[in-house]
């Protein structure tokens, strides 16, 4: 089903660009928007993982520098019957992690230096098992394209705002001004709903898969508790709202708006489900 979501996201991106192009410059604007949307879809499919990794200044980890991290990733990839993904490290004290890429053969997992400092090996296995489950379920392409689309929607909303300020549109009397206002108001809402629809259910499935791959549901529960506390206490710097849904816990969780519209399910509920798995009351 993830290929259907991918097709939907790419189609939505194209339609959104066509709408904005029509509002701003009519048929010529639509033609420019069509070309731009095709380039965006091509880029989001082939390069969105590189865009996200670059956004967080992730660097590919050296096996000599991070031997334990490599050993854990290789062990879990073997358990999950997956190719070993590329491993990246983000120099950031806030503990968090995400996976990206277009398929299991072109996947990457990224962890912050903070997560390596506060988790023990069992907890790290739980977290990386969670991320490898996203890879196995092919969530990573959907999530990464969604990040690109949400960023695009945010840009378009700003563009609509500037168009209104400077009198953009073909004719100020034919309703384009009102349409730009509606676009300005609705775009952030659409972006948020898109993230919520994609993120919440897949986190529960990835928790279950991570517990199964690592065989340590309680270690994953313990890791989630540590990560939630740390991200509330000190949100991840440079974390963008467009890519917050990629992380294992919300990197913006201390902000009031992020609490109200969290892209992640309740950490307490995630921990409760993992504890039930460990007690045999919930199947993997």
Q: Which residues are marked as active site?
A: 131
With CA atoms as reference, report the closest residue to 230 among 256, 212, 248, 209: 248
Beta bridge partners, 109, equal 87, 99
């Amino acid at each position: 089903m993830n290929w259907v979501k991918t097709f939907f996201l790419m189609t939505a991106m194209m339609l959104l660009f066509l709408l904005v192009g029509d509002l701003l410059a009519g048929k010529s604007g639509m033609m420019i928007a069509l070309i731009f949307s095709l380039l965006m879809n091509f880029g989001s499919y082939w390069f969105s993982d590189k865009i996200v990794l670059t956004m967080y200044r992730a660097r590919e980890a050296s096996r000599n520098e991070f031997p334990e991290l490599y050993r854990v990733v290789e062990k879990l990839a073997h358990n999950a019957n997956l190719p070993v993904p590329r491993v990246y490290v983000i120099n950031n004290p806030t503990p968090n992690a995400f996976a990206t890429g277009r398929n299991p053969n072109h996947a990457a997992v990224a962890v912050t230096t903070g997560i390596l400092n506060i988790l023990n090996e069992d907890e790290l296995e739980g977290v990386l098992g969670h991320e490898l489950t996203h890879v196995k379920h092919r969530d990573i392409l959907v999530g990464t394209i969604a990040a690109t689309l949400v960023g695009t929607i945010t840009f378009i909303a700003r563009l609509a705002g500037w168009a209104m300020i400077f009198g953009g549109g073909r004719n100020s009397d034919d309703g384009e001004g009102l349409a730009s206002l509606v676009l300005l108001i609705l775009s952030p809402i659409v972006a948020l709903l898109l993230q919520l629809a994609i993120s919440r259910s897949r986190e529960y499935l990835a928790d279950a898969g991570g517990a199964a791959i690592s065989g340590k549901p309680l270690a994953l529960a313990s890791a989630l508790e540590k990560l939630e506390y740390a991200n509330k206490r000190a949100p991840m710097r440079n974390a963008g709202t467009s890519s917050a849904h990629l992380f294992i816990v919300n990197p913006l969780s201390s902000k009031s708006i992020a609490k109200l519209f969290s892209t992640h399910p309740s950490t307490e509920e995630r921990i409760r489900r993992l504890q039930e798995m460990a007690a045999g009351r919930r199947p993997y």
